[in-house]
């Protein structure tokens, strides 16, 4: 992969998905040890409702990167709507098919997955400070 331009953004997207997986897994281990393994399962299901659409979104943008740059915004926004719809459908499916959902832990897992990439930005060095080190 290229280290500049859209190649760098692809690496960032895949890293964000990896960070979501790590955050939800760590939270599930905490929930399992503290509140029981049924809570850990709910955390994982809530996280999966956000991680799966984000992974598909990152994959789609990765496949699109060799096309013309003018079409990139259209694909980005179209797949952003697909991602939101798929997240809602997965949550609906979880509620309808899974027994003994622990709602608080499900929502905590969903929120943790959605906020993990934002949390990572707090630790990323700014371009100005990179030149000074």
Instruction: Give 94-127 pLDDT, tens digit per residue.
Output: 999 998 899 999 999 999 999 887 776 766 655 5
Domain ranges, ordered by start, for the chain: 5-117
The mean pLDDT of the chain is: 82
**Spatial separation of the C-alpha atoms in residues 56 and 13, rounded to whole Å:** 11
73 phi, psi to nearest 5 deg:
-60, -35
Instruction: Give 25-55 pLDDT, tens digit per residue.
Output: 999 999 999 998 999 999 999 999 999 999 9
Q: CB burial class (10 A; 0-12, 13-18, 19+) of residue 131?
A: exposed
């Amino acid at each position: 992969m290229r280290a500049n331009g859209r190649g760098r953004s692809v690496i960032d997207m895949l890293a964000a998905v990896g960070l979501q997986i790590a955050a939800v897994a760590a939270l599930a281990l905490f929930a399992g040890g503290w509140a029981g393994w049924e809570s850990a399962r709910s955390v994982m299901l809530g996280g999966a409702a956000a991680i799966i659409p984000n992974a598909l979104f990152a994959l789609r943008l990765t496949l699109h990167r060799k096309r013309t740059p003018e079409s990139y915004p259209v694909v980005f926004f179209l797949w952003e709507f697909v991602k939101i719809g798929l997240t809602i459908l997965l949550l609906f499916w979880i509620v309808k098919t899974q027994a003994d959902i622990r709602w608080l832990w499900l929502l905590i897992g969903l929120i943790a997955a959605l906020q993990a990439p934002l949390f990572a930005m707090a630790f990323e060095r700014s371009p100005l400070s990179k030149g000074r080190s």
